[in-house]
Amino acid sequence: MSVMDAIQERDAAQEAASPVTSVPVAKSRFGAKFALGILLPVALAAGWEIAVASGLAQGRLMPPPSRLFKTLYDLAITGELWRHIFATLARVAAGFALGTIVGTLVGALAGASRLAKDIVDPTLQGLRSVPSIAWVPLFILWLGIFEESKIALIAVGCFFPVYLGVFGAIASVDRKTVEVGRMFRLSQFQLVRRILLPAILPAYILALRQGLGLGWMFVVAAEFMGASEGLGYLLVDGQQLGKPDQILAAILTFAILGKITDGLLAAASAPLLTWQDAFAPKN
């Protein structure tokens, strides 16, 4: 048989022998992970409950979990909780959308064009150093005390991690990969769309999640500026009326919502990252 036939036979045998390795997601493994994760908060809550119930600790400033859940339940029943959640969620969503879109565009521009970077980056790095709360009085003066100023503040908070994430990731794309694009004569725009943006996708998702986390932080600051509804409003109201259970209920709700939204973002982006050959163990 010819050399070519021999080679093809060997190739076929090799392909038959090398199966695709993929890691199946074990349901039991996920359950164990969840149990471990919830262990610490549950233990602390149970411990505190017992301490207050047995009179070892005073439950006035730090209410026991049972009172906390009752407060949450009352708020939920009257529909109050949902009204506040929706208000806060809407602000976070709008600010996040605005901040990430602008952050992505400016980051991509600075990453792709040396001139743009030299013009834009020094100013942005300077602005980044401004403590976020310092923007509050300015935005109130410029945009009023209603939704616009709050959304602007949240957008500023989301902007910087996304901008830095996109820009930094583009700058660290391997030259070797970019050269593949150059050999196929991609225009600047095509280079960004077909090579740079997909290459930075993992880092970009991380930057989005960071932005989202900051968005949740900033919404509190925004709602402190004078809101009549929202979880941040519940915090201020709870402080002014001396209701620690309301404050803690709002904090708990923040934590849960933050975790849920982050989880949704991670889950939605996971299928886009199946190609990754990274160190992080899956699940």
Partner 1 sequence: MLNIQSVDKVYPNGTRALDRVGLNVEQGEIVAVVGGSGCGKSTLLRLVAGLDPATRGRVELDGETISAPHECVGLIFQEPRLLPWLTVAGNVGFGISHLPKAKRERIVGEVLLRVGLADYAERWPRELSGGQAQRVAIARALAPRPKVLLLDEPFSALDAFTRASLHEHVLDLWRAFKPTLVLVTHDVEEAAYLADRVVVMRPRPGRISSVFELDLKRPRDRYGPELEAAKRRILNALDQSLRERTAGDELVPAAAI
Question: Where along the sequence are the contacts to partner 1 (CB under 8 A)?
Answer: 3-4, 7-8, 10-12, 15, 18, 20-21, 176-177, 179-180, 182-185, 194-195, 198-199, 201, 274-277
Choice between 39 and 273, CB closer to partner 1 = 273
**What's the CA gap between 134 and 125, in Å, rounded?**
16
Question: In angstroms, rounded to a whole number, what is the distance separating the alpha carbons of residues 123 and 118?
Answer: 9
Query: Which C-beta is closer to partner 1: that of 114 or that of 175?
Result: 175
Measured from the CB of residue 274, what is the shortest distance to partner 1 in angstroms?
A: 7
Which residue's CB is nearer to partner 1, number 4 or number 61?
Answer: 4
Residue in the block written with tokens 């109050």: 80
Structure tokens given for 273: 């990252």
Least spacing, CB of residue 42 vs partner 1, in Å: 39
Nearer to partner 1, 80 or 179 (CB): 179
Q: Which is nearer to partner 1, 154 or 199 (CB)?
A: 199
Q: Which of residues 9 and 80 has its CB atom nearest to partner 1 in the complex?
A: 9
Smallest separation, CB 102 to partner 1 (Å): 25
Q: Do 155 and 214 meet the contact criterion of CB atoms below 8 Å apart? A: no
Closest of 265, 252, 168, 169 to residue 215, by C-alpha? 265
Q: Collapsing DSSP states into helix, strand and coil, what is residue 103?
A: helix
Using the minimum distance from each CB to partner 1, give the nearer residue, 15 or 40.
15
For residues 195, 110, 268, 150, the Cα torsion angle rounded to the nearest 10 degrees is: -170
How far is residue 93 from each of residues 96, 97, 215, 241, 261, measured CA to CA in Å?
5, 6, 9, 29, 10
Distance of closest approach, residue 108 Cβ to partner 1, in angstroms: 17
CA–CA dist 41, 107 (Å, integer) = 38
Q: Tell me the closest approach of the beta carbon of residue 165 to partner 1, in angstroms.
A: 17
Q: Which residues of 85-121 are buried (b: 16+ CB within 10 A; e: fewer)?
A: bebbbebbebbbebbbebbbebbbbbbbeeeebeebb
Smallest distance from partner 1 to CB 13, Å = 11
Taking the complex as a whole, how short is the minimal distance between the CB of residue 270 and partner 1, in angstroms?
14
Residue 97 CA neighbour count, 13 Å, CB half: 6
